[in-house]
Chain A
Amino acid sequence: MEFIWNGIVEALKLILAGDPQVLDAAWRSIWISTTAVALAAVVGIAIGCLLARANFRGRTLLIILFRAGMGIPTVLIGLVGYALLSRQGPLGMLELLYTPVGIVLGEFALALPIIVSLTHAAIANLDPRVHETAVMLGASPWQRLKTYLGEARLAITLALLTAFARCFTELGIAIMIGGNIKFITRTLATATTLETARGNLSRAVAMSLVLLLMAIVITTLISLLSTPRSQEKRA
């Protein structure tokens, strides 16, 4: 137990001293996850709304596929991403393998099914009177869409936070597409794995403490937003 305690003490010293490796990995993890979720939000919310409100051939199949995609292992996304972005792959000419942008693309693929499925569920489960009231008040299709998003904003915010939590803590994509290159593609999750393998426990604990802190912040936000009282206040 003593070595774990020592590791925590050393980790706190590293964090308080502003260790460049810890800060670099933390900052990269934050911006990569934020960018991936922001891009997935633009595409995913639109697809989620479309699946919830429009009727077209293949809609049910798409809903099932996106739901299945929520549980896809990150190593599989990493492997497919590697195959696509590697020099011999169809997207090799983009030279995105072992770059932060490559990780963003991989995490986009991770976040998209989560955002699509949860947005679809949020919009599809809205009270039918929302649609009927908007129609009877002369709302245009664009105004109706804004109304649906407004009425489901809490559930959609939770979807984005859930996607962010998944991206921020994932390992498979960052290792396989990013390659864990120091000061270039290293994230908190990949750095923790590497430092543990090296036996550098204090730095590994420091990395995981930042990860843990972020996870606590996100979980707290999700809990606060999902309580009925906060729904009333925000309504």
Chain B
Amino acid sequence: MTSIIQVTDLQMIRGNKPICQVPALEIQAHHKFGIVGTNGSGKTTLLRIIAGLEHDFKGTLHCSLPQNQIGFVHQHPYLFKGTVNDNVLYGIRSMATGDRDTLVQQMLESFKIQHLTNRSCQQLSGGEQRRVALARSLIRQPKLLLLDEPFADLDDEGIETTCNILGNLTETTILISSPTTIHSALTIDGELVLDSIAF
């Protein structure tokens, strides 16, 4: 098994305060990995660094994938103005129209939100927005998927559906951050516990 992420002595400091400290981390390809920690422990920052959204850190990070093969879903996802359909097909606009429409419908059906296709994203509940954001990221079939607290706002059905979809992604490496142990419906291969950082 090849490792796709290797982290050594990673530290990010903002305003003279460390906001993320990870002595060592190695993640194998196709694994599902949990990053658990309380608020302020640096979970989000670690995911953002791996996603390539933060550059001002110390230590080393080796990620064998380019940014266009990484999917990242924010803790509070941002949906662009427009419909659910507009958002989900955003990342696959270069595909042929017929193919991408079929793909969007399949993705919406797998998340059980096909009835929202033409709904304005501003009219969705928090849980529906999160499912749309996940569908939008997954439709691009990223090799590495970074999910920042993906189960927040989801009801039991939403959690079950999401866990089933993530569980079936055998070719994708998934990193999930969570303030508590990762939901039992999703089998994970490893877990990193981040301690809250004392200043």
> When the two chains form their complex, are residues A133 and B74 in contact, meaning their CB atoms are under 8 A apart?
yes
Interface residue A16 (Cβ < 8 Å from any Cβ of B): no
The 4 closest A-B pairs by CB, nearest first: A129-B78, A137-B91, A235-B122, A136-B72
Interface residue B81 (Cβ < 8 Å from any Cβ of A): yes
> When the two chains form their complex, are residues B140 and A133 in contact, meaning their CB atoms are under 8 A apart?
no
A201 to chain B, nearest CB (A): 49
A234 to chain B, nearest CB (A): 8
Point out the residue from A132, A134, A151 that lies within 8 Å of B74, measured CB to CB: A132
Instruction: Sort chain B's interface into a size bin.
Output: 20 to 34
Assembled-state Cα–Cα distance A150/B87 (Å)? 13
Question: Which chain A residues border B140 with CB–CB below 8 Å?
Answer: 137-138
Closest to A143 in B: B93
Interface residue B57 (Cβ < 8 Å from any Cβ of A): no
Point out the residue from B70, B81, B122 that lies within 8 Å of A150, measured CB to CB: B81
Give chain A's interface secondary structure class: helix
Assembled-state Cα–Cα distance A17/B78 (Å)? 55
A136 touching B93 in the complex, CB below 8 Å, given contacts A129-B78, A130-B78: no
Interface residue B35 (Cβ < 8 Å from any Cβ of A): no
Assembled-state Cα–Cα distance A232/B80 (Å)? 12
> When the two chains form their complex, are residues A150 and B67 in contact, meaning their CB atoms are under 8 A apart?
no
Closest to B136 in A: A137
Interface residue B177 (Cβ < 8 Å from any Cβ of A): no
Assembled-state Cα–Cα distance A159/B68 (Å)? 35
**15 other A-B residue contacts (CB within 8 Å) besides A130-B78, A235-B82:** A129-B76, A130-B80, A132-B53, A132-B72, A132-B74, A132-B78, A133-B78, A136-B67, A136-B137, A137-B140, A138-B91, A138-B140, A153-B81, A235-B120, A235-B121
Binary contact track A117-156/B, C-beta < 8 Å → 1, others 0: 0000000000101101111111100010001001101000
Question: Which chain B residues border A132 with CB–CB below 8 Å?
Answer: 53, 72, 74, 78
A122 to chain B, nearest CB (A): 13
Contacting A at CB under 8 A, from B70-86, are: 70-72, 74, 76-78, 80-82
Assembled-state Cα–Cα distance A136/B146 (Å)? 10
